[in-house]
Structures are given as C-alpha cells and as structure tokens.
Amino acid sequence: MSDGFCTHCFTLLPALATACPVCGNAQNNTGEGDYREKVVSALRHPSPEVRVRAIVAIGLMHDKSAADALVACALRNPADVVVGLQIIETLKIIDDGKPRMTALRYLHARHPDDAIKQAAQVTLNAILPAPGA
C-alpha cells in the first residue's frame, strides 16, 4: 500500500513513509493543490527518471487537466522516446474526453518521432468508435 509519491523525486512511497527511499527527502504534508503543482512542474525536471515518475503520478491521479502539460513535456523532450511513450500510456487512463483526444491528436500531428506518432495513432484508433458504430 502506498500513501503517494515523494514530493521531491516522485518515487512511489511505501505506506507511512517519512522519508523517500530513493532521494532521502523528508516527506511533509503538502496540500493537494500544492502537490498537483509540484507533480506538473516535475515534467520540466532535467532528469528523465523524475519526469517519468511525474507522468506516472499524473496518471494515477487521473489528472485530466494535465493533458496540455504532458504534450508540452513530450515536445520539449522529442528525443526521449521512453518519456513520450509513457505520456501516451498516461493519456490512455487520465480521462475519456476532449483533453485526451486533443493531446493524442496533437502528438500524432506534431511530435517529430515516428514511434510517438504511431503510438498516438494506435491509441486514437483504439478509443475512437468505429465508423458506422
């Protein structure tokens, strides 16, 4: 069982952890709004590992308001295919509405990496209703 993520490196924490087992940062009681802001701001972190953990945290929080920030992260780091693919995985689960569809369409149209474009298209095909259905 986990209580959440480290407010510094966004590693998944064991229940009742008072310090992060990865970075050692003491965990304090951060308000939900402050925590969300920290997670979204971690999408700009220089470490790809921290960015991936933040992307996973956004998915587990089902934060559909972060769709634009996820797209911006993918476009800021176009050579990091792992980050781009994790963003698409997160977009699959954060919502079932317009923010997700817009984000996936944008990644398909604008991302420079063919693997990301293809993954976005496959995801769109899987969630769009079949013609005539």
* pLDDT digits 0-9 by tens, 113-125: 999 999 999 999 9
Dist CA 125 CA 128 (whole Å): 5
Q: Which amino acid belongs to residue 58?
A: I
Lowest mean pLDDT among 39-43, 50-54, 94-98, 129-133: 129-133
- Predicted confidence band at 85 (pLDDT cuts at 50, 70, 90)? very high
Task: Give yes or no for a contact between 87 and 110, defined as CB atoms under 8 angstroms apart.
Answer: no
Q: What pLDDT is stored for residue 1 in this prediction?
A: 39
Name every residue whose Cβ is closer than 8 Å to that of residue 124 and which is 6 or more positions away in sequence.
Answer: 101, 104, 105, 108
Predicted structure pTM score: 0.78
DSSP three-state, residue 12: strand
Burial class (CB in 10 A: 0-12, 13-18, 19+), 50: buried
Task: Give yes or no for a contact between 10 and 57, defined as CB atoms under 8 angstroms apart.
Answer: yes
Of 35 and 130, which is predicted with more confidence?
35
Q: With 90 as the cut, is the pLDDT of residue 10 above it?
A: no
Alpha-carbon torsion (29, 30, 36, 39), positive or negative: negative
DSSP assigned state of 6? -
pLDDT for 18-47, tens place per residue?
Answer: 888 888 888 765 555 578 888 898 999 888
